[in-house]
Structure 1
Amino acid sequence: MTALSESVEVPAAPPRRRMPGWARGALAAAAAVAVLVVTSELTGEHQLTSSGTIQSAVRLLMPILLAGLGGLWAERAGVINLGLEGMMIMGTWGAAFCGLHWGLWAAILGGAVFGALGGLLHALATVTFGVNHIVSGVAITLLGAGLTKYLSTLIFEPVSRNPRQSPQLPGVDTYSVQPLGDWLGAVEDARLPVLADLAGLLRGVLTGFTPLVLLGFALVPLSYWILWRTRFGLRLRSCGENPYAAESLGVSVYAHKYAAVVISGALAGLGGAALVLNPGQLGYLENQTGGRGYIGLAAMIFGNWRPAGLLAGSALFGYVDGLQLRAGGAAVHALLYGASLLAVAVAVWWLYRRHWLAAGLAAAAGAVAYAVYYLSDTVPREFATYAPQLVTLVVLAVAAQRLRPPAADGLEYRRGSGD
């Protein structure tokens, strides 16, 4: 009996199928929308879901998204690009100069070209001369700030009478999906519970967008297709994982690294152009990047070096930035309530997965957020102003455990020196 029972094989349990990436992204987006709608209804702070807030968020996430895409291209090839901020600064000046002389599309091209020049300098330093990537990136940021200040004084001051800004650019056309936009506006103005919030969120995305917004969103799937679905992208990513193995297979590692870093600079320069061509700004202003190059780098890390995750991180930071600019401390204060709801949902998820420590930490974070919300009426203006930076720190701290950067990211490569 014992021998018979030992000879019978128990069928193995079928492997658990992982949820596709697109499904996880859609589920996360639906959860974020649900949290915003519930928070708006329970706190009465309807600016959280108003179409004006979402329009501001879309315009403000675009520089972060483009800078993050620039970081993604460079780091997938194994080059850390801490000079994104400097390349964005160069892009702002190039976009303003070309826009003043030749119009909108020249401004977009000028921002990309000036950013690409910064990328070329970074590639020359890191790929050809082996300069430390961090040192080179910091140097380019300082160089970009100093160079644009000099050029602004030389060229813009005689025209605008102000060395810190350019003359105002001609207006930028905005577009909307009609008549859907008008219908959503009527639903939002009617303030029907839940429906008004959903209409405001959707209307903010479908109305008031600029050509550069469309270009920026199109670059996300385009970057994914090139990097993950083409021979060039496979070779480029192999340079960031194991450049010596790529070299042994005949890949020109130097050429692919140069191409990636120059494209990285061009994308960061487009991020600068997005700031200059924002309908609320329309011109170059000294220090207008405000650290968005570094926030773009944080969004890329939050997205685990993937375009879809980068888009989610950029949307988060852009939304918080747009919210504090449009509604101030009261709306940021209401976000604490939403954060507590989200933390409870995360705690329930970890309980379902039987990760007790993670569930306890999430519940504790939710309790702290709700306590701050309950014990205060608003948040200080200084806190609201720096809310995007604070969200960046919190998100990176939470996401640090699941990150997987390219294996050779930041390592010096010399042809023929592999083991």
Structure 2
Amino acid sequence: MSTASDLTDQNPSSAPVTVSATPPKRGLPGWLRGVIWAVVAIGVLATASYLTGVNTLTSTNTAQTALRLALPILFCALGGLWAERAGVINIGLEGMMILGTWGAAWGSFYGGVWAGLLAAIAFGALGGLLHAIATVTFNVNHIVSGVAINLLGLGVTKFLASLIFTPISGNPKQSPPVPKFDTYSATFLSDWLGDLEKQQRVGISDAAGIIRGLITEVSPLAMIALLLVPLSYLVLWRTRFGLRLRSCGENPVAAESLGVNVYAHKYVAVLISGGLAGMGGASLVLLANGADYLENQTSGRGYIGLAAMIFGNWRPGGLLGGAALFGYADGLQLSGGGTAVLALLYGAVILLGVIVIVQLVRRRWFAAGAGVVGAAVLYWIYWANDDLPSDLIPYTAHFVTLIVLAVASQRLRAPKADGARYRRGEGD
């Protein structure tokens, strides 16, 4: 009788093969990568501030202004995340945000700030509902529907402002003064950080100025926005509902075959998206020291929020970084003007130098060469100008948007069914 060992000896090719499986290397957690990037950013800004002598780069005032200007972008980016993870492109964030500005002013004038916030959410969600009806139920092209929502939002708010605000303020393009959110500060910590900032110690004072700006005179709306980032991650990536919603954006036909109500999840996602965009509109009206309702006061921030979401690769943590970047660029030009923006270009040269070194270590020659060319161009702009033209300074955030999207385009991965038309029962 042949044994198993005999058969193995007779037919070596049938011998069992032992595969030594090396476990894949796990990358750093997302939160730790975010902390590292934050430290790198502060280090670059501190170095640029020291070498250029422009303290505005890391001042408390700049950080406060950046936080205030980043809020509408962050809310819109979160709104885009919810919609596009469900497979619905939401170009209409700008229009939903415009609806939110009017709802915030109307609700706040008649019922206080919290009523204004709820009204902004409701008006933004109404815009989201119209977008969902058009794209999910009637399969209208998502881009066309989004553009229509933007135009509709502008027209509806003009009509409502003329109808409601003109008898009160006499101006159809502006609301009467409305209540604003109170602000709160961590007084003891803020005072200590203020003392550190005044000492002008390289690195330490810069970090103290930035952190102090983020914990001084903070609005409840800012706290809500920052809380919504981890909350969105937990809901979308750590719950059954979130898994089903994301499956609708990746493969709605497969999701349908597993019993997921694709229509319902898309509707919920776009409604939440509109509500978040409405909150972005509220942040323009209800923050302390901010303007009351003005006609078309969003100034394209809905589109910048969409860009921040794309820069963040459709992830909550990434879009937070994008919103912070765009808010900082916008806040810097308000706080320091053209000189501060030029100093920021110098900081970008330093950052590109670090990136070039990293790419050389990884032997990515093309990326390293592109980084060298980019650094050379930015340094030439910095060296050749004492100040930037005043007409260009207000568009700093828009230029940053274009540059960042061009750099980030190499690593983007959108949901596979984002923008795709879906009909129940018609999948392959």
On whether the aligned pair clears a TM of 0.5, the verdict is yes
Equivalent position to 1:293, from 302, 309, 324: 302
* Separation in 2, partners of 1:194, 1:411: 48
Structure 2 residue 333 is the aligned partner of structure 1 residue 340: no
Deviation at 1:180, TM superposition (A): 0.4
* Separation in 1, partners of 2:386, 2:177: 39
Equivalent position to 2:403, from 387, 394, 412: 394
Equivalent position to 2:208, from 196, 199, 206: 199
* Separation in 2, partners of 1:26, 1:379: 32
Tell me if the contact between 2:83 and 2:270 (Cα under 8 Å) persists in the aligned partners.
yes
Structure 2 residue 382 is the aligned partner of structure 1 residue 357: no
Q: Which moved more, 1:17-26 or 1:279-288?
A: 17-26
Give the partner amino acid of 1:144: G
Equivalent position to 1:253, from 251, 258, 262: 262
Deviation at 1:382, TM superposition (A): 1.9
Alignment TM-score, normalising by the size of structure 2: 0.94
Aligned residues, how many?
A: 412
Equivalent position to 1:309, from 302, 305, 318: 318
Superposition map of 1:41-190 within 5 A: 41-190=50-199
Q: Which runs of 5+ in 1 are unaligned?
A: 1-8
Tell me if the contact between 2:89 and 2:143 (Cα under 8 Å) persists in the aligned partners.
yes
Counterpart of 2:383 in structure 1 is 374
Aligned to 2:165, what secondary structure does the other structure show? helix
Tell me if the contact between 1:301 and 1:310 (Cα under 8 Å) persists in the aligned partners.
yes
Q: 1:80 to 1:14 in 2, by over 3 A?
A: closer
Tell me if the contact between 1:171 and 1:282 (Cα under 8 Å) persists in the aligned partners.
no
Structure 2 residue 38 is the aligned partner of structure 1 residue 24: no
Deviation at 1:231, TM superposition (A): 0.6
* Separation in 2, partners of 1:214, 1:14: 40
Deviation track 1:70-96 (CA, whole Å, cap 9, x = no partner) reads 000000000000000000000000000
Tell me if the contact between 1:169 and 1:282 (Cα under 8 Å) persists in the aligned partners.
no
Structure 2 residue 48 is the aligned partner of structure 1 residue 39: yes
* Separation in 2, partners of 1:126, 1:253: 13
Structure 2 residue 285 is the aligned partner of structure 1 residue 276: yes
Give the partner amino acid of 2:109: L
Q: Which moved more, 1:162-171 or 1:270-279?
A: 162-171
Aligned to 1:187, what secondary structure does the other structure show? helix
* Separation in 1, partners of 2:21, 2:99: 59
Give the partner amino acid of 1:412: R
Equivalent position to 2:327, from 307, 315, 318: 318
Task: Give the percent of matched residue pairs that are identical in Structure 1 and Structure 2.
Answer: 62
Structure 2 residue 424 is the aligned partner of structure 1 residue 415: yes
Deviation at 1:21, TM superposition (A): 2.2
Q: Which moved more, 1:152-161 or 1:136-145?
A: 152-161
Q: Which moved more, 1:79-88 or 1:283-292?
A: 283-292
Q: Which moved more, 1:172-181 or 1:137-146?
A: 172-181
Tell me if the contact between 1:170 and 1:282 (Cα under 8 Å) persists in the aligned partners.
no
Q: 1:362 to 1:276 in 2, by over 3 A?
A: same
Give the partner amino acid of 1:274: S
Tell me if the contact between 1:86 and 1:141 (Cα under 8 Å) persists in the aligned partners.
yes
Deviation at 1:20, TM superposition (A): 2.6
Aligned to 1:409, what secondary structure does the other structure show? coil
Q: 1:98 to 1:310 in 2, by over 3 A?
A: same
Give the partner amino acid of 1:327: G
Deviation at 1:264, TM superposition (A): 0.3
CA RMSD of aligned residues (A): 1.5
Q: Which moved more, 1:302-311 or 1:380-389?
A: 380-389
Tell me if the contact between 2:102 and 2:157 (Cα under 8 Å) persists in the aligned partners.
yes
Tell me if the contact between 2:30 and 2:317 (Cα under 8 Å) persists in the aligned partners.
no
**Higher Rg:** 2
Alignment TM-score, normalising by the size of structure 1: 0.96
* Separation in 2, partners of 1:256, 1:17: 32
* Separation in 2, partners of 1:11, 1:248: 37
Deviation at 1:15, TM superposition (A): 4.8
Deviation at 1:218, TM superposition (A): 0.5
Deviation at 1:371, TM superposition (A): 1.3
Aligned to 1:193, what secondary structure does the other structure show? coil
